[in-house]
């Protein structure tokens, strides 16, 4: 009735709904009906009382109860489906069965379900169309209920879905014939492909379809095949209707279930090969063949060279060649000719047979063989010579100049030149004249003389020779002299300066060298300069001179040129003094020895005014600078020199500047000075703080330091004079201190926090102090010289505070007081800290120091003890605390009776090792034995793999636990979980104790009896004495002392059979139940083993001679029958044993001779054999 509560109350949670038999009971609220309620009439009125639970006001109404009848349904006919892929699954329109189930009754709702429970509960309905999920056959459960009455009354029917297989065939290959009359039509025997369609041509015999089980019909259209209708009447003599290629439709029907498969078969009328007339194959008579007849002009022909023209791009056609037409027509092997083929006449016809590789269709055609004569050019042309202008072995040759002499007057012949004989033979890559050789000095060029009409050619060789030319440097150095009077003119000695440079290693006697003022004169050799030893330039500043060098041996000429230049010395700038600070020592403290290392090159740009073509050199004396000797080797690292025993400070350095283009030079001087550094206190004291302030958090080792607190001490009395100021800047990085960049902004509030790793301290941290001569770190108002000193800032950590566990004493029936030894907590309090380095002090809850912490009785229960930890070295201290308390103890297995939990293994093991047997144990079943009568509500029981885990209460085992070794000891922990009011007045409960106790529990997996029976046994029946196997014995291999046995045939116990073995007397499924009665009285583990006994017997034979008397050959069909698993092998006249694959109980002996024979058949299981005589009537086919 409560199903109506929400509807009646309108969903108001403050309304209480109850039901009554009468109005009076509803008004008074007495005798409410029980829920669920059984009606006492149909229909029935009950009375409803609805009361507001807050105001107790109520009202009443009525509810009518009606019991409706379930719909009347009918058992439906099975739905079937023809399965295209025969996988046992298909698509069903479940609604097709609806009219039959309901008989057309209106107002019903029909749903379909995969299980009866789903149909009963009206859940998980399936939709139509539906794909079955059980292979071949599936039952669908149909639920029918009223669509208009709101009840769950329903009727149920079962609808069977059957999936019928369709023939699984092989799509047939096309049928093909040759088109002899070129009309595209031919006659076909469509039934030739039936074996292929029925899978009888593949190597897998298991998928063969028997022709007697299937019907095959053929149709000219797909529409006819789909009906089917209008089958082709004479399939063995069918003429295609579409020329060249046609399609017929094949319907293969299963005679048993009517399901069919439709496929197509192509009919192809193949054309004969279409051939084009090939041009003659023509060769030049350039090979002297062994035994050649000169009058015939014989050559070896590659007959296949005609293929491309004959086939005109066609593929899939094989061409063969014959001496006669008859040979080509008939493919006569003795008449066939092959490449390379030597012609026997000039010209000669060759007969070609063309056969389509796929269709086998044939056409023939002919072509001709011709041999032409070759040209006769100059056999040994004269070498062609050229001068080498750069002596690299290469020159430019006019090849065309040799054409006339090579032709030697022969008409209709063209000449071409080639780098390789192969190119000349192939007439590719002809050379263009003029041609530059690619082989240094000497190269052979191959000349092709080709007949313009026939294309026949002859190859001759033309030598090319490259003559050496005199060698002149490609680039000659400018000849530069300095101007001694600033007029732009001076004298030049070509013989001394330029001639050796021009000739190099060449012998002057082999060459003639002249100098000229123009390039034209140098090329012609005219107007050479006469006074080559003292020539004065004719153009102010710079002039070009041209040279001509002639080889006296071969007359080859080389020309060149160079520049003569009159240049001026550099004009220098007097540099300002170079001043640097005295060097610091290795610790960057002042040295002040008046010695420093200068980079003199810093003045280069000032001296040269930035002219990069001038070279600056430095010297310690003026004489060295003028003589250009003893130059300062490394002017970037020059230390001012000593004068006697004192440094030269200041010092004059002498400068020589040379124009690197002209060699002209000038002189100047440079003054260098060493400035002193500040002298502060060298080793300031470190600044040390305790980590008392939590800057970013506790124990952060970060504090704020005033780095300037010792500034006056560091200055060491310097900087008091305003005219000689000193500035202190502070840094955390030495490089920044040295550079004077990024000083600490506020050194009075410096934090030692790592800026790259916020929240992390740097302690100790080195602070670098830069003491600078000037008013700031850059040296403003002073020399800028500086000295670096450093000190460390250190934050000493507070003593480590380790987590301190509360000091709990567990006592049975405790009184709340105990004498605690607090000193036992010192190691825990200090953690890894040494007791010799730290002092521990205890304080009671009232703040008083505990004088004897080794024997302190708590004042309250619980009580908080405060602890001070002081570092004896730094004086830094910290306070922590812990609680002492007396709590009620717990007990585990108080009666001390060993707890052993045994289970049978779920798998029969055969490895002989019981230590690896495992089972899931329900540890909760051990709790009563562990608690021994203690109230489970006050204790928590948990289990652990080790004593350490149990004591620590970590890594508890799951209550459904599978052992890891057999047997295995696990550890049970019992925690006191007694709850009590926390005294807050809120009723909240707290755990009053953390006490626990542990005990050991043993888990043991007992093995199942080890029984291994053979999968099957053979029992011979109806024997005739020829059997070779004995009666079977089913033996467990176990004894009756340790095990009990129960034997069953099928599912029935065999009376009296309780032994460890059994001798079966009939075939069937045998079961033995073996129980271990010796290992454990608790588990009594058992194993169930099964096997099958199969019957077999000697065969019953029939023999039939399949052929008539006096036939050419004789065959005998032998049929053997038997029962059970009998299978047979066949022999005739003690011959070898034969068998069909698959073994169907028959065998046909073929080609059997005339006379009497004995056929013997034996059971392959060894249950015996049977023989049968057979006679064949015939006469000898030959007489002698």
Q: Report yes or no: 422 and 408 within 8 Å, Cβ to Cβ.
A: no
Q: Report yes or no: 447 and 460 within 8 Å, Cβ to Cβ.
A: yes
Q: Max alpha carbon distance in the chain (Å)? A: 159
Q: Which residue has the tokens 């010796």?
A: 1078
Residue 672, sorted as left (phi over 0), alpha (psi -120 to 50) or beta, turns out to be beta
The C-alpha torsion from 824 through 830 and 832 to 834, rounded to 10°, is: -90
Closest residue by Cα to residue 769 from 749, 752, 786: 786
Beta-strand runs (E) in 171-311: 175-178, 187-188, 214-219, 238-239, 245-254, 260-270, 281-284, 300-301
What number of residues does the chain have? 1184
Q: What is the pLDDT of residue 150?
A: 66
Q: How many CB atoms lie within 10 A of CB 341?
A: 18
CA distance 1097 to 1167: 5
Query: Per-residue pLDDT tens for 86-143?
Result: 889 999 999 999 999 999 999 899 999 999 989 988 899 999 999 999 999 999 999 9
The C-alpha torsion from 946 through 950 and 951 to 953, rounded to 10°, is: 130
Q: Report yes or no: 662 and 653 within 8 Å, Cβ to Cβ.
A: no
pLDDT band (50, 70, 90) for residue 617: very high
Query: Per-residue pLDDT tens for 188-242?
Result: 999 999 999 998 888 888 888 998 999 999 999 999 999 999 999 999 999 999 9
Provide the sign of the torsion angle of the four alpha carbons 618, 623, 629, 632, taken in this order: negative
Half-sphere exposure of 1013 (CA within 13 A, CB side): 24
| Fold classification of 807-888 (topology level) | Immunoglobulin-like (2.60.40)
Q: How many CB atoms lie within 10 A of CB 234?
A: 11
CA distance 142 to 118: 10
CA distance 565 to 664: 12
Distances (CA, A) of 313 to 319, 662, 1020: 13, 78, 74
Q: What is the pLDDT of residue 869?
A: 94
CA distance 438 to 424: 16
Query: Per-residue pLDDT tens for 49-86?
Result: 999 989 999 999 999 998 888 889 999 999 999 998 88
Q: Which residues does 76 contact at the CB level (< 8 Å), separation at least 6?
A: 97, 100, 101, 142, 157, 159
Q: Report yes or no: 424 and 445 within 8 Å, Cβ to Cβ.
A: no
Q: Report yes or no: 33 and 1 within 8 Å, Cβ to Cβ.
A: yes
What tokens does 370 get? 């011709």
Q: What is the pLDDT of residue 450?
A: 93
Which residues pair with residue 548 across a beta bridge? 514, 559
The C-alpha torsion from 280 through 281 and 287 to 291, rounded to 10°, is: -80
- The architecture (CATH level 2) of 384-468 comes to Sandwich (2.60)
> What value does the mean pLDDT take over residues 891-905?
91
Q: What is the pLDDT of residue 1110?
A: 84
Assess whether pLDDT exceeds 70 at residue 1135. yes
CATH no., domain 1100-1176: 2.60.40.10
Query: Per-residue pLDDT tens for 845-862?
Result: 999 999 999 999 999 999
Q: What is the pLDDT of residue 610?
A: 93
Q: What is the DSSP string of 1092-1155?
A: EEEEE-PPEEEEEE-S-TT-SS--EEEEEE-STT--EEEEETT---B--SS--SEEEE-SPPSE
> What value does the mean pLDDT take over residues 697-711?
92
Closest residue by Cα to residue 1127 from 1172, 1167, 1078, 1069: 1167
Mean pLDDT, all residues of the chain: 91
What tokens does 369 get? 């063989």
| Phi, psi angles (nearest 5°) of residue 899 | -105, 115
Assess whether pLDDT exceeds 70 at residue 470. yes
Q: What is the pLDDT of residue 125?
A: 95
Assess whether pLDDT exceeds 90 at residue 603. yes
3-state secondary structure of 770: strand
Buried-state track 781-796, b at ≥16 Cβ within 10 A, e below 16:
ebbbbbbbbbbebbbb
Are 384-468 and 479-567 in the same CATH fold? Answer: yes
pLDDT band (50, 70, 90) for residue 1112: confident
What tokens does 708 get? 């300037």
- The architecture (CATH level 2) of 479-567 comes to Sandwich (2.60)
| Phi, psi angles (nearest 5°) of residue 489 | -130, 150
CA distance 278 to 263: 45
- Rg of the chain in Å (alpha carbons): 61
Q: Which residues does 232 contact at the CB level (< 8 Å), separation at least 6?
A: 190, 217, 218, 219, 220, 238, 248
Displacement of CA 660 from its chain's centroid (Å): 64
Assess whether pLDDT exceeds 90 at residue 749. yes
pLDDT band (50, 70, 90) for residue 1182: low
> What value does the mean pLDDT take over residues 1062-1070?
93
Q: How many CB atoms lie within 10 A of CB 1137?
A: 13
Q: What is the pLDDT of residue 1184?
A: 65
Q: What is the pLDDT of residue 1092?
A: 96
What tokens does 721 get? 């004079």
Assess whether pLDDT exceeds 80 at residue 1181. no
Distances (CA, A) of 353 to 367, 562, 701: 12, 81, 105
Percent of the chain predicted with pLDDT > 90:
70
CA distance 208 to 168: 9
Assess whether pLDDT exceeds 90 at residue 625. yes
Q: Where are the alpha helices (DSSP H) in 562-619?
A: 604-608
Distances (CA, A) of 1160 to 435, 681, 957, 1130, 1147: 97, 126, 71, 6, 11
Do the bridges between strand 614-619 and strand 578-581 make them parallel or antiparallel, or are there none, so unpaired? unpaired
Q: Which residues does 677 contact at the CB level (< 8 Å), separation at least 6?
A: 581, 582, 584, 590, 591, 592, 773, 785, 786, 787
Assess whether pLDDT exceeds 90 at residue 593. no
> What value does the mean pLDDT take over residues 890-905?
91
CA distance 685 to 380: 106
Q: How many CB atoms lie within 10 A of CB 989?
A: 11
Query: Per-residue pLDDT tens for 316-357?
Result: 999 999 999 999 999 999 999 999 999 888 889 999 999 999
CA distance 1142 to 1163: 15
CA distance 732 to 713: 20
Query: Per-residue pLDDT tens for 981-1015?
Result: 777 778 777 777 889 999 999 999 999 999 999 99
Do the bridges between strand 457-468 and strand 384-388 make them parallel or antiparallel, or are there none, so unpaired? parallel
964 or 389: whose pLDDT is higher? 964
Q: Which residues does 395 contact at the CB level (< 8 Å), separation at least 6?
A: 386, 387, 388, 389, 436, 437, 466, 467
Q: What is the pLDDT of residue 666?
A: 86
Of 483-497, 1130-1144, 1152-1166, the range with the lowest mean pLDDT is 483-497
What tokens does 228 get? 């089917």
Q: How do the residues of the chain divide into helix, strand and coil, expressed in percent and rounded to 5? A: 15, 35, 50
What tokens does 703 get? 């504090």
Peptide bond connecting 43 to the previous residue in cis, omega within 30 degrees of 0: yes
**For the chain, give me the number of helices (H) and strands (E)?**
20, 75
1178 or 518: whose pLDDT is higher? 518
CA distance 237 to 136: 40
Domain ranges of the chain: 2-65, 79-97+107-165, 175-270, 281-370, 384-468, 479-567, 578-675, 687-796, 807-888, 899-1006, 1016-1096, 1100-1176
Q: Which residues does 295 contact at the CB level (< 8 Å), separation at least 6?
A: none
Query: Per-residue pLDDT tens for 862-891?
Result: 999 999 999 999 999 999 999 999 988 889
Domain 1016-1096 class in CATH: mainly beta
Q: What is the pLDDT of residue 293?
A: 75
Q: Which residues does 1051 contact at the CB level (< 8 Å), separation at least 6?
A: 1071
């Amino acid at each position: 009735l409560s199903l109506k509560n929400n509807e009646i109350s309108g969903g108001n949670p403050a309304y209480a709904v109850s039901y009554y038999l009468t109005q009076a009971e509803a008004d008074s609220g007495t005798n409410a009906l029980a829920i669920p309620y059984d009606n006492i009439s149909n229909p029935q009125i009950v009375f409803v009382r609805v009361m507001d639970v807050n105001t107790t006001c109520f009202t009443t109404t009525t509810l009518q109860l009606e019991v409706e009848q379930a719909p009347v349904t009918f058992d439906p006919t099975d739905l079937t489906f023809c399965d295209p892929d025969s996988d046992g699954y298909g698509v069903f329109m479940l609604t097709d069965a609806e009219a039959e189930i309901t008989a057309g009754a209106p107002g019903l709702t029909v749903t379909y379900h995969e299980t009866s429970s789903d149909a009963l509960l009206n859940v998980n309905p399936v939709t139509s169309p539906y794909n079955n999920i059980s292979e071949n056959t599936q039952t669908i459960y149909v639920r029918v209920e009223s669509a208009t009455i709101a009840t769950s009354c329903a009727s149920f029917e079962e609808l069977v879905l059957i999936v019928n297989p369709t023939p699984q065939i092989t799509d047939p290959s096309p049928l093909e014939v040759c088109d002899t009359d070129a009309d595209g039509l031919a006659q076909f025997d469509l039934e030739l492909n039936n074996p292929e369609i029925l899978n009888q041509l593949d190597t897998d015999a298991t998928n063969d379809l028997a022709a007697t089980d299937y019907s095959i019909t053929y149709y000219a259209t797909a529409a006819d095949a789909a009906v089917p209708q209008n089958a082709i009447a004479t399939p063995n003599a069918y003429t295609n209707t579409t020329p060249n290629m046609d399609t017929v439709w094949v319907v293969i029907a299963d005679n048993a279930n009517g399901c069919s498969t439709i496929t197509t078969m192509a009919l192809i009328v193949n054309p004969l090969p279409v051939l084009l007339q090939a041009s003659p194959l023509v060769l030049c008579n350039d090979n002297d063949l062994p035994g050649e007849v000169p009058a015939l002009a014989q050559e070896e022909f590659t007959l296949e060279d005609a293929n491309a023209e004959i086939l005109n791009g066609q593929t899939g056609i094989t061409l063969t060649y014959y001496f006669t037409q008859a040979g080509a027509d008939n493919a006569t092997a003795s008449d066939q000719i092959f490449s390379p083929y030597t012609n026997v006449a000039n010209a000669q016809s060759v007969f070609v047979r063309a056969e389509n590789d796929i269709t086998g269709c044939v056409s023939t055609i002919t072509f001709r063989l011709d041999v032409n004569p070759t040209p006769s050019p100059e056999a040994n042309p004269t070498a062609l010579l050229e001068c080498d202008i750069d002596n690299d072995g290469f020159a430019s040759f006019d090849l065309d100049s040799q054409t006339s002499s090579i032709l030697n007057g022969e008409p209709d012949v063209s000449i071409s030149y080639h780098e390789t004989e192969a190119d000349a033979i192939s007439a590719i890559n002809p050379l263009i004249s003029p041609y530059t050789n690619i082989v240094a000095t000497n190269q052979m060029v191959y000349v092709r003389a080709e007949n313009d009409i026939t294309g026949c050619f002859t190859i001759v060789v033309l030598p090319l020779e490259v003559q050496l030319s005199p060698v002149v440097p490609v680039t000659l150095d400018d000849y530069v002299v300095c101007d001694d009077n600033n007029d732009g003119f001076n004298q030049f000695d070509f013989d001394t300066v330029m001639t050796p440079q021009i000739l190099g290693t060449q012998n002057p006697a082999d060459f003639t060298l002249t100098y000229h003022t123009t390039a034209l004169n140098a090329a012609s050799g005219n107007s050479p300069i006469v006074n080559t030893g003292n020539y004065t330039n004719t153009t102010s500043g710079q002039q070009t001179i041209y040279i001509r060098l002639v080889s006296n041996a071969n007359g080859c000429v080389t020309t060149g040129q160079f520049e003569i230049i009159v240049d001026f010395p550099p004009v220098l700038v007097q540099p300002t003094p170079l001043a640097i600070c005295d060097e610091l020592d290795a610790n960057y403290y002042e040295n002040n020895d008046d010695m420093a290392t200068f980079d003199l090159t810093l003045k280069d740009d000032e001296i040269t005014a930035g002219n990069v073509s001038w070279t600056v050199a430095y010297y310690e004396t003026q004489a060295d600078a003028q003589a250009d000797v003893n130059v300062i080797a490394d002017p970037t690292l020059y230390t001012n020199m000593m004068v006697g025993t004192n440094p030269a400070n200041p010092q004059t350095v002498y400068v020589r500047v040379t124009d690197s283009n002209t060699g002209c030079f000038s002189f100047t001087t440079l003054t260098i000075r060493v400035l002193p550094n500040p002298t502060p206190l060298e080793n300031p004291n470190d600044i040390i703080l305790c980590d008392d302030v939590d800057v970013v958090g506790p124990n952060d080792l970060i504090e704020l330091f005033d780095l300037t607190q010792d500034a006056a001490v560091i200055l060491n009395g310097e900087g008091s004079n305003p005219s000689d100021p000193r500035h202190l800047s502070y840094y955390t990085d030495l490089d920044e201190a040295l550079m004077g960049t990024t000083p600490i902004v506020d050194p009075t509030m410096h934090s030692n926090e790592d800026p790259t790793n916020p929240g992390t301290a740097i302690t100790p941290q080195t602070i670098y102090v830069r003491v600078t001569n000037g008013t700031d770190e850059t040296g403003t108002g002073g020399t800028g010289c500086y000295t670096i000193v450093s000190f460390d800032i250190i934050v000493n950590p507070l003593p480590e505070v380790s987590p301190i566990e509360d000091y709990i004493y567990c006592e049975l029936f405790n009184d709340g007081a105990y004498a605690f030894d607090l000193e036992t907590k010192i190691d825990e309090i200090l953690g890894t800290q040494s007791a010799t380095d730290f002092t521990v002090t205890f304080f009671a809850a009232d703040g008083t120091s505990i004088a004897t912490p080794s024997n302190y009785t708590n004042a309250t229960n619980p009580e908080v003890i405060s602890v001070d930890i002081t570092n004896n070295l730094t004086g830094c201290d910290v306070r922590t605390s812990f609680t002492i308390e007396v709590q009620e103890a717990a007990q585990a297995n108080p009666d001390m009776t060993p707890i052993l939990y045994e289970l049978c293994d779920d798998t029969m093991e055969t490895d002989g090792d019981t230590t690896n047997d495992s089972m899931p144990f329900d540890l909760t079943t051990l709790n009563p034995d562990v608690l021994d009568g203690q109230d489970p509500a006050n204790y928590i029981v948990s289990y652990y793999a080790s004593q350490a885990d149990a004591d620590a209460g970590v890594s508890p085992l799951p209550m459904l636990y599978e052992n890891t070794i057999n047997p295995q000891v696990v550890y049970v922990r019992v925690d006191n979980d007694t709850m009590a009011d926390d005294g807050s007045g809120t009723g909240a409960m707290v755990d009053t104790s953390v006490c626990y106790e542990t005990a050991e529990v043993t888990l043991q997996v007992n093995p199942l009896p080890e029984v291994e029976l053979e999968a099957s046994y053979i029992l011979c029946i109806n024997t005739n004495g020829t059997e070779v196997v004995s009666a079977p014995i089913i033996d467990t291999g176990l004894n009756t002392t340790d095990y009990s046995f129960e034997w069953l045939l099928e599912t029935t116990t065999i009376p009296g059979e309780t032994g460890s073995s059994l001798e079966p007397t009939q075939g069937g499924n045998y079961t033995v139940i073996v129980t271990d009665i010796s290992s454990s009285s608790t588990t009594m583990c058992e194993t169930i083993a099964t096997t099958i006994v199969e019957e077999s017997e000697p065969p019953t034979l029939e023999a039939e001679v399949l052929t008539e008397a006096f036939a050419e050959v004789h065959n005998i069909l032998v049929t053997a029958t038997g029962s059970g698993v009998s299978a047979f092998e066949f022999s005739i006249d003690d011959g070898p044993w034969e068998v069909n694959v698959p073994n169907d109980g028959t065998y046909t002996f073929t080609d059997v001779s005339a006379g009497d024979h004995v056929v013997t058949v034996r059971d392959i299981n060894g249950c015996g054999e049977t023989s049968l005589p057979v006679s064949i009537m015939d006469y000898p086919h030959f007489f002698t």
